[in-house]
Structure 1
Amino acid sequence: MKNSNLIINSDEIDLYMIKEKFKSRKNEVYYISIKNKYDRIMPCVLKRYIASKDNKSKETFLLKILRENGLNVPRIYFEGIDYILLEYISGKTLLEVITNLENKQGENIDFKKNYEIICKLLNWLENLYYISKKALGKAYVFEDVNFRNFIIKGDKIYGVDFEDCHCKGHKERDGGRICAFLLTYNPAFTKWKMEVTKLVIEIMTKEFNYDRNLLREEVTREFSAIEKRRGMKIPGDIIKKIF
């Protein structure tokens, strides 16, 4: 590719096709198919950094360190000045999985199946905290726990967005946001979501050593942020009901 106006500019790629543009608040993210100089067709994710190139440096650094230490994250194929080309992880987002579970279960909640999915997510986060502390000296929290940022493929879960990842928090921050996000995805505050959120809290506090009081504070904090960010009315008794 010699045309500098093209999104990708690499001598390794002869042809590419944009298949889909993914939802992103800060950047341009595409699912693309590329043909390299060896005539191999590869599905990839192209992430072009619009907000800040510093975010690119931070994310690529973390992706490399975490992958080298065994965390399930996408492989970086190569980097441009303002973009990276990533391995495409085929599978379903955690949001799709959760939505399908609710639609299938209705009020007949399958606690065993839900327990498996919750533990899969929490184990991945525990590995993030452990690996980052071991490799970088401080435990990093994921921060942007939007369920679209997790891909479930077979029996594995992958995290795919590390721009907001930082080392200035505690795991209850991630836990609180998970609970608040789960409850407020459309349709919000359903009976299924309420029961599953209570299950999440029990697993976090009893099996993963989350501090219950700190977790409650973080859920409350995130509800306030959601009210401002989305203009959503949060029921005043919701914290009491789930804790």
Structure 2
Amino acid sequence: MLGDLTTLDPLAWDALKKALNQRVVIGHIRLLPSRRNRVWVVETDVRPVVVKRFLSGRCGHEFETLLQARLAGLDVPYPLWSDGTHLVTEYVAGDPCELMINHMFSNVAAEAMGTWLAQFHSRLREGNMVKIIADAVLSNFIFVHDRVYGVDLEDSRVGDPLDDVGQLAANILGSEPLFTPVKFDLCLQMIRSYGRVSGQDIVEKARPHVAKHLKLDARNKPLFRRTLVSAAKSLERGWPRLA
């Protein structure tokens, strides 16, 4: 069934045609939720793609980061076109890691995210300058055949890699179901997977970063604020024994 074509603005149409370098027939258009930008999944007779219209002004930055990541052998969507405002990438068909972690409780997905993060940090560093994704949340990872793809890299910057680890761990623990034993297991599996790839034990080093991001998340989750802050204070003292 034909989607609502009015959701795709004229400049996005132009970017789509240039990205695929030919006339295309649209089968369906789906608008995805986004905090800052407008993002569509567009099914065409050539291939499905993602069209992203940036309201944040960071289109060129994400395009460049995706290219760097692809050249470094990382699993990210292939960038097809950018005009400074719109970015067109391949569509990665898979399961969102929100589903894999919060509903399927997948050990494989947890470990794959840790592996991907460690590879991103090691392969996109220049000397002591380490690039982090700075938006390490479950919704930015897609699980595909025992691997994950990282998406939405517009916030990437130089920073502390443990901050990415802490943010992802906090997102695992602080999304429903919150702070269950299986969630702590998945959180620690992700952290240990990162450590195996990076060649260092970071379980204790990451803990204060997890607590920090739980407190930051509490600001945006008023219904769970007390629970998140309490868990953060507990983590500042140590990992719970149930984990």
Shift of 1:192: 2.2
TM-score (norm 2): 0.80
Quote the residue 2:230 is aligned against: 236
CA contact (8 A) 2:67 2:79 kept: yes
Distance 1:236 1:33 in 2: 45
Quote the residue 1:56 is aligned against: 59
| Distance change (3 Å), C-alpha of 1:191 and 1:174 | same
TM-score (norm 1): 0.80
| Distance change (3 Å), C-alpha of 1:236 and 1:126 | same
CA contact (8 A) 1:144 1:165 kept: yes
Distance 2:203 2:146 in 1: 29
Quote the residue 2:78 is aligned against: 75
Residues 131-184 of structure 1: CA deviation (Å, up to 9, x unaligned): 1115x87321122111111111113211111111111x2221111111110111
Quote the residue 2:139 is aligned against: 148
**Paired residue type of 1:33:** E
Quote the residue 1:38 is aligned against: none
| Distance change (3 Å), C-alpha of 1:43 and 1:225 | same
CA contact (8 A) 2:48 2:90 kept: yes
Any unmatched runs of 5+ in structure 1? 36-40, 103-112
Quote the residue 1:99 is aligned against: 102
CA contact (8 A) 2:166 2:207 kept: yes
Q: Are 1:181 and 2:175 an aligned pair? A: no
Quote the residue 2:118 is aligned against: 126
**Paired residue type of 1:70:** G
| Distance change (3 Å), C-alpha of 1:120 and 1:86 | same
Shift of 1:213: 4.7
Distance 1:14 1:143 in 2: 35
**Paired residue type of 1:46:** V
**Coordinate RMSD, CA, aligned:** 2.6
Residues 101-140 of structure 1: CA deviation (Å, up to 9, x unaligned): 23xxxxxxxxxx61x3332111211211121115x87321
CA contact (8 A) 1:18 1:30 kept: no
Secondary structure, aligned partner of 1:140: strand
Distance 2:188 2:211 in 1: 15
Distance 1:130 1:210 in 2: 15
Distance 1:100 1:228 in 2: 25
Secondary structure, aligned partner of 1:86: strand
Between stretches 59-68 and 232-241, larger displacement belongs to: 232-241
Distance 1:30 1:156 in 2: 24
CA contact (8 A) 2:26 2:43 kept: yes
CA contact (8 A) 2:115 2:193 kept: no
Shift of 1:205: 5.5
CA contact (8 A) 2:78 2:89 kept: yes
Shift of 1:18: 4.4
Quote the residue 2:3 is aligned against: none
Any unmatched runs of 5+ in structure 2? 1-7
